[in-house]
Every structure is written in C-alpha cells, then in structure tokens.
C-alpha cells in the first residue's frame, strides 16, 4: 500500500508536457541573457500585442481600463464588507473643492475669449469684401422690390364717418381705377366714343410735333456752341433787321407800342454807353489791329466797331426850334417827359465839368499807343492805308478839348501837395522791413576784447559773430506799385497738408500729382467718372442700420455655388 501511494505521489509530482515546454522556454530565455561562447547576444525588441503570455502583459492603448469592481470579483468577500464600503463611497455625493479665484477667473476669461473669437471670425470675409470694394453704397441691405397682387392687400375699416363717406364716394365714382381693370370707367367710355382713324391722326400729329421740337432743341443747342464772332455778328444784324421791320409795322398799327420800343432802345443805348464794350482797348481789337493790314474784312469790322463807339459816345443834341418843341409837347405828353429828361441831363452835364468825357478819337489814340511797342511797323502802314481811321469823331468832339484841359487842371489843383506815390513806397518799405527775417547777432561784449565805459565796440568782431538771415524773394519785388501780403492765413492753414501721403516720395511728386488736371476736357469720360466717383455713397432719406446676421447667410449662399464649381473643376482636371 505504501508503495502504491508513493508511486501515486510521484506521478502527481512529475511534470506534464505543458510544464516541460514552459520550463524549456524559461531556460532558453535565461540562458540568452548570459554570454555563450564569449559573445553577448543582441537584445531583441519586444512589441506589445493583444495576446498575453507568461512573460508580459499586453499594453494595448485601445483596450479598456481595468475597473475596481473587476478586481473585486476575484476577491473572496464572505461577509460583503468590502462591497458595502465601496457602495457607500460611490453613492456619497462629495462636493469638489472650489478653485481659487485667480484660476477661476482665468478659465472664465479663456472661455469668453474663445467665444468672441468664434463670433468675430464669422464677419471677417464680409469686412474684407467691403474694404476691397471700390465703392460702398449705404444702406447695404437692399429692400426686396416685389409687386403685390390684389389678393395680398388687406381691407381696412375706418371708424370715422367722414372717411366712410369719402370711401363710398370713391367707390361710386367713374374716375377711380377698380381692380383688376387698368382704365377707369370714364376713360373706357371716352375711348369707345373716339374714332380709330381720328385717334391715329391725332397720334401722328403729336409725334410730328415732338419730333419738330426735338429737332429745334438740337439745332439751338448746336448753335449755342458756335464760338465764331463773325457768326454772332451776322445773327445780330439779322435780328436788328427783323426788329426794324417789326418796328415799322407797329409804328403804323400801334403807336403806343412803338413808343415803348423806343424807350427800351434808349435804355439799351444807355447801358451800352455805360459799359463801353465797343472801345478799341480790348483783346480782340488789339489782335485784329495787327491783322487788319492783310485782311480787308477785319479792317471793316474794326471800322464798324469804331463807328458804333462814335455813335454811342456822341452827345445828344436838340436842334428843334421852340415852336416845333411846343407843338410836339402838345401832341404827346409822353414825349414831353422824355425831352425834358434828356435836356435836363444835357444841361447838368455842361454845368458840371466832372461829368465831361473825352472824345472817342482819344480812345483810338490810346489803342494805337498800346500796340506801338509790339508792332510799330504794322501801325505805321495802317495809318497810311486808312488815313481817316483816327478822324472818325465829329466836329463837336474836337470842341471839347478845352473842357478836357480844364478838367485835368481841376484834378491837379485838388491833389496838389499830396505825394501819394512816395507815401506808398515808404509804406511798402516799412512793411518789408517788418516782415523780413532779422540777422542774429551772437556778439557778447567782453569776450576777446576789453569792455566798459569809454571803450568803442569792435565792429569787425561784431560783424564776425553776426549770422546773416537768408532773405526770400518777395512776389511783389518787381512790382513797385503793388503790395502782396505773404502772411500765412490761419483759416487756410488747417486745410493744408502736413504730412506726405504714403504713395508720394517727396514734395515735388505730391505737387505734380495735384497739378494733373481732372476733368472731362482732359480725361476720357469713363476715366473721369471713375476718378470722381466717391468711395462711399449714401441714399438721401434712408436709415443706415448696422449690419445683421442675415448678411452672413447671404454670403454663405453666394460662396456655395463657387465652392461647388471649384470642386467640380478639381474633379475634372487631372492631377
């Protein structure tokens, strides 16, 4: 029995095939760690795997973490004390310790910052688009213009009796459009009575009248742009001829109207005498005086202008006898007033030497004097070809030379003793001295020389320490009879540019850019409109509200088709 038991024990203690394999594997791993045949084996790298073995546990990150209750399943808990304790701990709602105030505020600020960045980043594409636009028109949100049908309109009821009566009267009226009709009942009735042929004739006549009006407007517009003085003179002559013909007709038919026209002509003559437009001191006369040597038409024009000047500046004389004047007064009271006014003006003019004017021949002489320094030969030949050019004045004007001399004497006596020119030059000199920059003197007495009472100043040393100021040339330096103020205007200084723009390198380039003209006369029409186009345009009477989130939705809708087309293009184009 004992032997049998021993054999059983031995059989139990003997290792099985699995155990032998494990032992052999263990021996091989241990032996690999030590040197064999004088050489050390290179350590092999072990990779983690899901399969577990006796030498290590798999470290798969994707595997689930081991929970506490999984570990407790293998623990023998007869009384269940551990589980009850664990249950109590899990069911207790423990409050976590609050964070300190700086950390909590920091976390709150970070969260708020992330939210604001997210909100603001939504507006970046729209803001960039508005900045890159050449022109912005406010309000940005355009209203949807849609015509509403009669079914969308709602009927309003009024509590006021007067309004109800007005509504009732409008409903019964034939001159109110009633939907869905386009015309009123009165218009339909009128159209039914009109003949079609008459309507067509009337329409054709109206169309013809509109065409004639447009042609006339175009013609007048074209004529108004003509700058030829010859053309203007021809028109003026034609107009005068027409007025004279009309005056002859009205003189026989309506004498009162003819008298009114005479009064109007006298008024025009007085205005022309006051303005003296027909003098030969103008630019046109000076230029044509040189051309008149070679051109007969220009010579005639100048002669005609001088004739007009002579007739306008001629004194009004009355050679009527007393009896004829009395008969004229008895015939018409209106002519009496005119004659008395003219005679009174004439007497006043003769009694007052200050009102006397020189003859027109003197004006002609002045005009020739102004031309002589520039083209003296031309003037000499003119005088030979036109001998009576300066003698167009009447004999009465030559008698007024004595009056002119008396007039000059009176002016000389009135301003005797007043040297105005000298006073003006002194005043200008004082003003220049005040406005000029003074020299800075750095000389100090006692430095490098003796000083004190009785010792004269060293002029050479004083001149040595004097820094001369750079005097700028004045604008009126070449004009002795003119003073040009060069003081800076404070009102204008705030509108002047203090710093150069970023696209200008120096002052000269900036001034050159400002001097380039901008206008339809120097630039093409399209470029001119583009240059003067304002960057911001606001509609009058419209409320400009801040941009809302509807614009974001519209912007996304606009971008989607573009993104889809870009995606399709990317699919089509081979890489």
Taking only the tens place, the pLDDT of each residue in 341-357 is: 444 444 444 444 444 44
- The predicted pLDDT at position 455 comes to 79
- The predicted pLDDT at position 250 comes to 86
| Of 415 and 6, the one with more pLDDT | 415
Using pLDDT thresholds of 50, 70 and 90, give the confidence band for residue 28: confident
What is the residue extent of each domain of the chain? 276-418
Tell me the average pLDDT across 478-495: 77
Tell me the average pLDDT across 11-38: 65
Q: Examine the pLDDT at 318 and tell me if it is beyond 60.
A: no
Q: Examine the pLDDT at 457 and tell me if it is beyond 60.
A: yes
Taking only the tens place, the pLDDT of each residue in 225-256 is: 988 888 888 888 898 888 888 888 888 888 88
Cβ atoms < 10 Å from Cβ of 466: 13
Contact 342, 316 (CB under 8 A): yes
Q: Examine the pLDDT at 378 and tell me if it is beyond 50.
A: no
Question: Residue 138: in which H helix or E strand, if any?
Answer: strand 136-138
- The predicted pLDDT at position 354 comes to 44
- The predicted pLDDT at position 276 comes to 64
Using pLDDT thresholds of 50, 70 and 90, give the confidence band for residue 53: low
d(CA 14, CA 8): 10
Tell me the average pLDDT across 444-471: 79
Highest mean pLDDT among 22-36, 398-412, 493-507: 493-507
Tell me the average pLDDT across 258-274: 78
Token pair, residue 121, equals 């980043």
Using pLDDT thresholds of 50, 70 and 90, give the confidence band for residue 32: low
Contact 315, 285 (CB under 8 A): no
| Of 140 and 555, the one with more pLDDT | 140
Q: Examine the pLDDT at 9 and tell me if it is beyond 80.
A: no
Phi, psi of 23 (to 5 degrees): -65, -40
Query: Which runs of E-coded beta strand occur in 459-550?
Result: 466-467, 536-538
Number of H helices, E strands in the chain: 25, 4
Q: Examine the pLDDT at 176 and tell me if it is beyond 80.
A: yes
Q: Examine the pLDDT at 321 and tell me if it is beyond 50.
A: no
Closest to 381 (Cα-Cα) out of 288, 283, 279, 289: 289
Taking only the tens place, the pLDDT of each residue in 383-442 is: 444 444 444 444 444 545 555 666 666 666 655 555 677 888 888 888 888 878 888 888
d(CA 522, CA 516): 9
Taking only the tens place, the pLDDT of each residue in 112-156 is: 999 999 999 988 988 898 888 888 888 887 776 665 555 555 566
Tell me the average pLDDT across 41-59: 55
Q: Examine the pLDDT at 195 and tell me if it is beyond 50.
A: yes
| Of 54 and 288, the one with more pLDDT | 288
Least confident of 35-49, 61-75, 380-394: 380-394
d(CA 191, CA 209): 23
- The predicted pLDDT at position 307 comes to 77
Is residue 547 packed enough to be buried (19+ CB in 10 Å), middle (13-18) or exposed (0-12)? Answer: middle
Least confident of 33-42, 412-421, 518-527: 33-42
Using pLDDT thresholds of 50, 70 and 90, give the confidence band for residue 111: very high
| Of 565 and 493, the one with more pLDDT | 493
d(CA 137, CA 41): 83
d(CA 428, CA 422): 10
Using pLDDT thresholds of 50, 70 and 90, give the confidence band for residue 512: confident
Distances 364 to 304, 309, 389, 398 between C-alpha atoms, Å: 13, 10, 9, 14
Over pLDDT 90: what percentage of the chain?
A: 7
Contact 356, 400 (CB under 8 A): yes
Tell me the average pLDDT across 483-502: 78
Q: Examine the pLDDT at 105 and tell me if it is beyond 90.
A: yes
Q: Examine the pLDDT at 373 and tell me if it is beyond 90.
A: no
- The predicted pLDDT at position 146 comes to 65
Q: Can you give the pTM of this predicted structure?
A: 0.27
Closest to 364 (Cα-Cα) out of 459, 282, 472, 449: 282
Least confident of 54-68, 250-264, 516-530: 54-68
| Of 374 and 444, the one with more pLDDT | 444
3-state secondary structure of 573: coil
Q: Examine the pLDDT at 371 and tell me if it is beyond 60.
A: no
Using pLDDT thresholds of 50, 70 and 90, give the confidence band for residue 467: confident
d(CA 554, CA 557): 5
3-state secondary structure of 56: strand
């Amino acid at each position: 029995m004992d032997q049998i038991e021993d054999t059983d024990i031995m059989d139990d203690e003997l290792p099985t095939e699995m155990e032998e394999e494990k032992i052999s594997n263990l021996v091989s791993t241990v032996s690999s760690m030590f040197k064999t045949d004088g050489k050390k084996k290179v350590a092999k790298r072990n990779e983690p795997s899901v399969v577990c073995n006796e030498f290590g546990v798999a470290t798969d990150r994707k595997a689930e973490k081991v929970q506490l209750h999984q570990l407790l399943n293998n623990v023998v808990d007869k009384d269940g004390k551990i589980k009850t304790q664990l249950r109590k701990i899990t069911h207790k709602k423990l409050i976590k310790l609050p964070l300190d105030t700086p950390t909590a505020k920091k976390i709150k600020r970070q969260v708020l910052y992330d939210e604001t960045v997210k909100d603001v980043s939504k507006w970046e594409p729209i803001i960039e688009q508005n900045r890159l636009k050449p022109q912005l028109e406010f309000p940005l949100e355009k209203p949807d213009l849609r015509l509403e049908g009669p079914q969308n309109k709602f009927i309003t009821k009024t509590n006021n009796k007067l309004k109800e009566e007005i509504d009732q009267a409008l409903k019964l009226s034939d001159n109110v459009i009633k939907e869905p009709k386009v015309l009123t009942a009165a218009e339909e009735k009128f159209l039914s009575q009109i003949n079609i042929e008459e309507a067509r004739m009337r329409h054709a006549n109206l169309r013809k009248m509109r065409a004639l009006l447009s042609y006339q407007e175009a013609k007048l517009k074209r004529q108004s742009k003509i700058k030829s003085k010859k053309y203007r003179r021809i028109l003026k002559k034609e107009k005068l001829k027409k007025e004279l013909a009309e005056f002859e007709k009205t003189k026989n038919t309506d004498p009162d109207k003819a008298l009114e026209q005479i009064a109007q002509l006298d008024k025009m003559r007085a205005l022309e005498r006051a303005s003296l437009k027909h003098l030969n001191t103008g630019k046109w006369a000076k230029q044509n005086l040189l051309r008149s040597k070679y051109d007969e038409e220009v010579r005639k024009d100048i002669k005609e202008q001088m004739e007009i000047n002579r007739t306008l500046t001629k004194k009004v004389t009355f050679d009527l006898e007393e009896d004829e004047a009395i008969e004229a007064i008895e015939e018409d009271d209106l002519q009496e007033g005119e004659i008395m006014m003219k005679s009174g003006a004439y007497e006043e003019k003769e009694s007052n030497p200050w009102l006397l004017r020189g003859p027109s021949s003197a004006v002609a002489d002045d005009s020739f004097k102004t031309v002589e320094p520039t083209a003296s030969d031309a003037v000499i030949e003119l005088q030979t070809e036109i001998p009576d050019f300066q003698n167009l004045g009447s004999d009465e004007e030559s008698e007024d030379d004595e009056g002119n001399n008396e007039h000059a004497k009176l002016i000389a006596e009135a301003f005797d003793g007043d040297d105005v020119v000298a006073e003006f030059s002194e005043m200008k000199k004082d003003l220049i001295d005040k406005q000029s920059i003074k020299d800075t003197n750095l000389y100090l007495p006692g430095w490098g020389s003796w000083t004190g009472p009785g010792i004269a100043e060293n002029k050479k040393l004083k001149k040595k320490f004097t820094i001369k100021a750079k005097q700028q040339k004045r604008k009126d330096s070449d004009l002795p009879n003119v003073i040009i103020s060069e003081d800076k205007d404070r009102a204008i200084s705030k509108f002047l540019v203090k710093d150069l723009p970023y696209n200008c390198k120096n002052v000269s380039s900036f001034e050159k850019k400002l001097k380039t003209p901008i206008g339809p006369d120097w630039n093409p029409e399209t470029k001119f409109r583009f240059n003067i186009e304002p960057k911001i345009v606001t509609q009058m009477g419209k409320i400009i509200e801040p941009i809302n989130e509807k614009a974001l939705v519209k912007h996304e809708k606009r971008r989607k088709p573009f993104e889809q087309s870009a995606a399709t293009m990317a699919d089509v184009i081979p890489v």
